[in-house]
Amino acid sequence: MEENTTGNMEANYRKFIQQVVDTNAVWGLTHDETWATSSSAEFEDAEVILFWSDAAGAQACAEDDWKDYKPESISLVEFLENWCVGMYGDQLLLGPDWDASLSGREMEPLIVALDVINELKHKGKSLEFSQYDSQEEFEEQVIEALEGDEE
């Protein structure tokens, strides 16, 4: 059973990456400028900020503690530049497309950013970045940061 769950999470994550590249948007749940976060199941004292590839996925989680939260979209560029980079700096994790039972993968935000860039390249798409000269420069910076972490 456990293996199947991991397989489903991987498939779900691939779908997340493909869908945000296709729609050029990422969804979160917000209430009064606060974004929905969860405590990490994998790491003690770590926070996970949740993102979805569509409004329906976000809406499905808007209950209990988040019943007053509403789905809100941000552009893919904003997600990459501001969220992934910022979350990396703040040592937060990213939860892509968690289900209504609030389970899903917990990812390093820069790994997610790199997967998005690779999917963009795979689809022959290019984004206009505002804080980087080009998609290539953004990719280089992300790779450098990740390699720095390994040392």
Please say if the pLDDT value at position 149 is more than 70. yes
Whether residue 99 is predicted with pLDDT greater than 60 in this model: the reply is yes
User: Which structural domain range is residue 55 located in?
Assistant: 2-150
Give me the number of domains the chain comprises. 1
Residues 18-27: tens digit of each pLDDT: 999 999 999 9
pLDDT for 130 beyond 70: yes
Q: Cα separation of 43 and 52, whole Å?
A: 21
For the cut 70, the answer to whether the pLDDT of residue 56 exceeds it is yes
What are the tens digits of pLDDT across the range 32-41? 999 999 999 9
Residue 3 has pLDDT above 70, yes or no: no
Percentage of the chain surpassing pLDDT 90? Answer: 81
For 64-69, which contacts have Cβ atoms below 8 Å and span 24 or more sequence positions? 66/29, 66/31, 66/36, 68/31, 69/29, 69/30, 69/31, 69/36
Q: What is the pLDDT of residue 150?
A: 76
Question: Could you read off the pLDDT of 70-93 as tens digits, one per residue?
Answer: 999 999 999 999 999 999 999 999
Chain mean position to CA 19: 12
Q: How would residue 2 be classed by pLDDT, with cut points 50, 70 and 90?
A: very low
